[in-house]
Structure 1
Amino acid sequence: MNKPLVSDLLHRLVPLNTLPYRYLQEIRHQLVPRALAPGDMLFDEQTRSGLSYFLLSGTLSLLTPDGERSLVAGSSESRHVFTSGVRLSRVFALEDASVLCIDSAQLERLVTWQHANADLLLELATAGELTDWLEALLENPLFAKVPPANIRDMLTRLETIDLPAGHVLLREGEAGDCCYFLKSGRAEVMTGLGSDSQVVAELDVGACFGEEALLTDAPRNATVTLIEDGCVLKLGRENFVALLKAPVVDELSLEEANALIEQGAQWLDVRLLEEYEQGHAQQALTMPLHLLRLKTRLLKQDRLYLCYCDSGKRSASAVFLLTQLGFSAYPLRGGLDGLSAEDYATLLCEQGNGYLARSGGRTELSG
């Protein structure tokens, strides 16, 4: 039986090479090479699987709207992910080959989170702040759609409280007016009252608790007690609703985006540089999401920016950030994956290093 690949063997695969070890551990069971014999079909028009694929060895035949071509392991193109869809309808092995098959939605979630919050964690670590608790906290599904700018703002509104073991933070049946994040220590969760009570869970650093009562306006459904000395961060209901409720972002169709481009709007490609170099919109600026906050000083406040990525998730995060900083921006609805083969080829018509933003809002060809 094949064993999962270890992380140092994934360094050449984009965007897997951007994920930290703990994220690779989350998808470890999927990092198992799948062997293909000559003629074996990876997928065709009838087997759309929702998976992302990486070629590890051998050669594959790819059927695209422009015809059939080969993908050879070790080539520059083979470093990049590929999926089934209108731009790639059939793939089979021309010789013995091996591939990775990873759930597309899970991969995109991990990549989006890593790139959206990387600069925030770096900033806190540089300032001497221990970020283990925050990294654990942000892996909570509650934060999946919360823009990094809101996370940054939330940190300024938290009340830090040091408490001894045995302190009861929440009581079952009480109304909820706040939630807590566990910065240090451990806590236990109990349900039921009196002799019917039982411990149902134990909370570690980074845990968020008490949020369900705020989301549902229902009484507390459990009692939470510290089982060792710890530090909690308290967030009141008003701040919870304002900061953790994901803002609604207006999305644009490609037709609407193209009309704005003709009126002077600017495309921003928020994917990785290596993804950008494979093909990008005409004169699109390369602005990877994890570098966007640093690069916004090169953008013009009076210009409209249109963001795109593969699935639309990274571009949504980019728009959250840009609007928080006072820019006008919109994401492409559904991302590149939502385009037809013809529209995809028309939009991503340029290759190479492409364009960079310079001070004063100037756009320069990078050479």
Structure 2
Amino acid sequence: MAVDSQSEEARIIRQLIPLSTLPSQAFISLCAQLQLEHAEQGAVLFKRGDRNTSLYYLLDGSINLQTETFTIETLKAGSDSARFAIAHQVPRKVDAVANSRIQFLRLNADMMKITTETAYEENESTMMVDDLDANGDWMTTLLKSPIFRALPPANLQKLLMSLQEISCAPGVPIIRQGEPGDYYYIIKKGQAVISRKPSPNAKDIKLSKLADLDTFGEDALISGEPRSTTVTAITDMTLLRLGKEQFINLIKLPTLKYIGIDGLHEHTRQGAEVIDVRGPDEYKNSHLPNSTNVPFFSLRMYLKTLNRHHPVIVVCKDGKTSEMAAFILQQNKFNALILKNGISGLDPEQLRAEPASFSIDDGTETGNLSGPVGEPSPLTLAEQTDERTEEAATGDLRQVVQQLKAKCRALEAEKMTLELKCSSLTRQLEKFKTEQERMGGKN
């Protein structure tokens, strides 16, 4: 008998992972295919060595996970561990034996394939975890992050065992600029501020605020570089943290995806966008044709301008900054790919050494335009259309649009840089005036 999507059993099933990430309509459709099963005390769900790929979930009662000689764990329905499939590694590592009369759910491979494909559709209106109980438990918080939603169930179960909950008082730094990275943080409740010192003797510049469900601390763990910012609590906070080793093994490695130059060409032919996250000067000296310069520090500003319907290929010098950028993109539901080893692994002939299209400094637009801004083209538009096919003309217009977008992004990045410098200089000037007044008072 199918499960009524409005029943108490459906409410329990809705908490299971990854079923909790399904859009409402997909979950209702799945319920129509489900059959609840029962077993008496002593019944065996599976034995060590079994290669059955079905996933078993405990809905009521308890089971023992055991070997021939001793019980490793007793799993009880309703616990956090019961939200995951029972000992799902194949071949099975343990025997699963009913410790009482139990109710359980069995999902076969076909059901799981449909479930997984549906759960990760790129649809803004259905990606929210909207049907979970609003009880504020940290696992619900975890599942609302696209990064965690895309992880395999096995990784999520290990995360459950590895996350530590800590508290932090207002005014206390959680991470400090310049220190080595040790943890990845999820804000369960509270607010914090991100700040950065442009130089050791300068005052902190506030960059942005963090609130419930936000995450931070991944940059240093991914790159291996010291912390680039300081994050300070501004309210009482409850945080979940994950150690560096667990972050790399459970999140970074299964999340980040790499391609070579052949894959880059194939994806760009299919509409993928290439962004280079190095600084403007590095980009001008050498870059991939048709790439857009989006410096890493300003990437979050440009997320709304990127197309989620096509992959975004991230490029940098050696791949390290690209990893950090790709993680940000994945957090924001983009399909991000990393050019393995960056442009340092490419033949120089594959790169452009001339200044980027629409150079900010010299007033000259390169690329499809034949001369400085304002210089008439040798051919009128009508003459060009006569000499080229409609497809080629469309391609040229598309490239011009991309170049215009690149210019806008470069100008925005330069504006942000200048604003930060202006803020720093203003603070230094105020400090100088205060010191000057103090010295004048002494005289």
The TM-score normalised by the length of structure 1 is: 0.37
* Greater share of residues in strand: 1
The structure whose RCO (Cα within 8 Å, separation 6+) is larger is 1
Larger CA Rg, structure 1 vs 2? 2
The TM-score normalised by the length of structure 2 is: 0.32
* Greater share of residues in helix: 2
